[in-house]
């Protein structure tokens, strides 16, 4: 993390921290942070998709989507990983958000896409599911001589808890064992930073903190469980993080990991926390795979009402939901492929 970011953005954050707590009790899982965060406007934003479920080598560049044209084949996996770059006040910044399910896929794609580990200022993962953090430990080990020493890894609450599925807490099949905090910090050059509230992680880049649930239809699967204090309890994804950026003159860019708490909830939270109503782009996993048609249609309708300039569903959005977005928002919809670099300019 740069000194410039420490001086400028963290001072801004501390100045509004009282507003965050006064506006809502963050401990109840429903923060009301109306306009509490002043995200610096970025003069340029570039988001490169390192890992996603879908690859296609012949799809052409389109609008803001610059397709990968290198000679190496890229791996597609069920997961997500993104390289985020911003330019704020003329200075470039760089970070990684999510790390896919495996290092062979993540590492190969990073090399092919020429992601420069030496320029990274921060790391973050959205939540402790393997498809978002499975490649992390091996990435850190393989790049330990290149990734800057003391780099922060930002995570939300319960990021390192075991998770599983089942009908009852005594009948849970564990299917996600995220890396351990002590193993990460034991490498000697990464500092884990656990957050609850909206937090700057690089210049012009914020994590959401806890996301307020305001829709009546975006609900967490009751068959999901998280281990708390040695026992499995109902999962609510209280700590899942999404990324919020602010493009100069164009509005918010919202990047979700899986959006288990709902992509509509996430976008509305981003608008409230920043006080910025205009949404330029919504992208990432929308967690609509296997969702009922009614849920997909309500989600598409609410996102359409938000009037983003671009919509890029990825990863866990699911084929049916992607088709629905493409039909209802044909001018805004962009089909994502692994290796695509989205270039946002004012």
Q: Could you give the 3-state DSSP secondary structure of residue 288?
A: coil
Under a CB-based contact definition with an 8 Å cutoff, are residues 151 and 121 in contact?
yes
Neighbours of 240 (CB within 10 A): 30
pLDDT of residue 71: 86
The pLDDT score that the predictor gives to residue 35 is 79
Both tokens of residue 82?
A: 């993104």
Structure-derived torsion over alpha carbons of residues 284, 242, 174, 143, reported in degrees to the nearest 10: 90
Note the pTM of the prediction, 2 decimals: 0.91
CA distances from 88 to 7, 40, 120, 231, 252 (A): 14, 7, 15, 45, 15
Q: Given this structure, which CATH class describes domain 3-15+26-344?
A: alpha beta
CA-to-CA distance for 278 and 262, rounded, in angstroms?
19
Phi and psi dihedrals of 243, rounded to 5? Answer: -105, 140
Task: Please list the pLDDT of the chain residue by residue as tens digits (346 residues).
Answer: 444 444 344 434 433 333 333 333 333 334 455 778 999 999 999 999 999 999 998 999 999 999 999 989 999 999 999 999 999 999 999 999 999 999 999 999 999 999 999 999 999 999 999 999 999 999 999 999 999 999 999 999 999 999 999 999 989 999 999 999 999 999 999 999 999 999 999 999 999 999 999 999 999 999 999 999 999 999 999 999 999 999 999 999 999 999 999 999 999 999 999 999 999 999 999 999 999 999 999 999 999 999 999 999 999 999 999 999 999 999 999 999 999 999 999 9
Given this model, what pLDDT does residue 32 score?
Answer: 55
Residue 69 backbone dihedrals phi, psi, to 5 degrees: -125, 20
Secondary structure element (H or E) that encloses residue 280, with its range? strand 279-285
Q: Is 320 exposed, middle or buried (0-12, 13-18, 19+ CB in 10 A)?
A: middle
């Amino acid at each position: 993390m740069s000194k410039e970011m420490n001086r400028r953005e963290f001072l801004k954050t501390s100045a509004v921290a009282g507003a965050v707590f006064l506006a809502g009790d963050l401990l109840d899982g429903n923060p009301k942070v109306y306009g509490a965060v002043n995200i610096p406007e970025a003069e340029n934003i570039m988001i490169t998709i390192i890992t996603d479920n879908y690859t296609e080598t012949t799809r052409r560049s389109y609008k803001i989507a610059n397709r990968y044209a290198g000679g190496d084949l890229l791996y597609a996996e069920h997961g997500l990983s993104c390289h985020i770059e911003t330019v704020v006040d003329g200075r470039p910044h760089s970070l990684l958000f999510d790390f896919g399910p495996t290092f062979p896929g993540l590492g190969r794609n990073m090399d092919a896409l020429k992601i420069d580990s030496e320029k990274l200022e921060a790391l973050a993962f959205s939540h402790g599911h393997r498809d978002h953090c499975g490649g992390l430990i091996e990435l850190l080990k393989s790049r330990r001589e290149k990734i800057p020493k003391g780099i922060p890894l930002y995570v939300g609450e319960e990021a390192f808890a075991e998770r599983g599925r089942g009908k009852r807490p005594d009948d849970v099949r564990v299917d996600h064992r995220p890396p351990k905090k002590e193993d990460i910090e034991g490498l000697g050059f990464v500092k884990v930073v656990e957050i609850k509230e909206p937090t700057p992680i690089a210049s012009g880049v914020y994590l959401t903190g806890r996301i307020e649930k305001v829709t009546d239809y975006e609900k967490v699967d009751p068959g999901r469980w998280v281990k708390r204090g040695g026992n499995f309890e109902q999962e609510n994804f209280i700590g899942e993080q999404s990324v919020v950026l602010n493009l100069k003159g164009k509005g918010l860019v919202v990047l979700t990991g899986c959006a288990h708490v709902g992509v509509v909830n996430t976008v509305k939270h981003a608008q409230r926390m920043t006080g910025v109503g205009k949404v330029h782009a919504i992208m990432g996993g929308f967690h609509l795979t296997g969702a009922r048609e009614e849920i997909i249609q309500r989600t598409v309708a609410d996102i359409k009402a938000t009037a983003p300039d671009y919509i890029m569903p990825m990863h866990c959005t699911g084929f049916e939901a992607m088709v629905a977005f493409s039909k209802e928002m044909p001018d805004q919809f962009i089909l994502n492929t692994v290796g695509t670099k989205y270039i946002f300019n004012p």
